[in-house]
Amino acid sequence: MPVERDTHFGYRNVPLAEKQALVDEVFTSVARRYDLMNDLMSGGLHRAWKDTLVSAVNPPRDARGFTVLDTAGGTGDVAFRIARAGGPGTRVTVCDINPDMLEVGRQRAVQRDLAEAVSFMEGNAESLVFPDKSFDAYTIAFGIRNVPRIDAALAEAFRVLRPGGHFLCLEFSQVDVPGFDRIYDLYSFNVIPALGRMVAGDAESYRYLAESIRQFPPPAIFADMIRSAGFRRVKFTRMTGGIVALHSGWRL
């Protein structure tokens, strides 16, 4: 039998089997205020980062069929941007393990008149229910670090992409500007939990989110993980002094 490994939940070591339930508790707690908190925590910068992701997806603006799987996309923020950027043939499926986040997304899709272009499905990034070679693009924004078995999620991303399909992952990274890293740490571990307490009534969940960023592999190591999953032409682009990185790979 395989040996069950420990993994990180923030700075805590927890059994691998327990991490998903702990992460679910975090996102159930923050679901209703998640997008507002993103604005407050990033000073609105998350919008520019997501726009860069959507530009890399580059959905066709005509009626050609183009399917995107947005994993861990609960509230639909990235999916809505992709749908608006594409033409009438663009369809985005949001897959998220947390039903509370998905319910927020469904309501917003109706409010934005995007319910036809964007659909929502509960599912686990490590074991997707979609058939092989189903999608033209796979996106995951600020979600991969919360997956207990990242290698399994990457393998599933490769499986569901068609040949020529594009994998894109936007994730927090490691600040690479001397001096800025200390300021960023002070902000992450003091200001963000305080904002979480004031706005969402939950400091601990946002403390976990800050800790999980520090536990995520550096860009070069994560790029190697993407290559190991089978992707080619893998590259990454740091943004905003290394706060985030956009990773790209292709199923060729």
Mean predicted confidence (pLDDT) in 129-143: 97
Give the phi and the psi of residue 53 in degrees, each rounded to 5: -60, -45
Residue 93 belongs to a domain with what CATH number?
3.40.50.150
| In a domain? residue 163 | yes
CA-based nearest residue to 220, from 239, 184, 247: 247
Residue 1 lies in a domain: no
Range of the domain at 19: 6-250
- What's this model's pTM, rounded to 2 decimal places? 0.84
Residue 26 lies in a domain: yes
Of 219 and 187, which is predicted with more confidence? 219
Count of domains observed in the chain: 1
Is residue 60 classed as helix, strand or coil in its secondary structure?
coil
Mean pLDDT on 23-45? 66
On average, the pLDDT of the chain sits at 86
- At residue 9, the pLDDT reads 44
99 occurs within a structural domain: yes
Cβ neighbours for 177, distance < 8 A, ≥ 6 positions apart: 241, 242
Extract the tokens encoding 13.
């070591």
Residue 56 placed within a domain: yes
Q: What percent of the chain has pLDDT over 90?
A: 59
What percentage of residues in the chain have a pLDDT greater than 70?
84
195 lies in some domain: yes
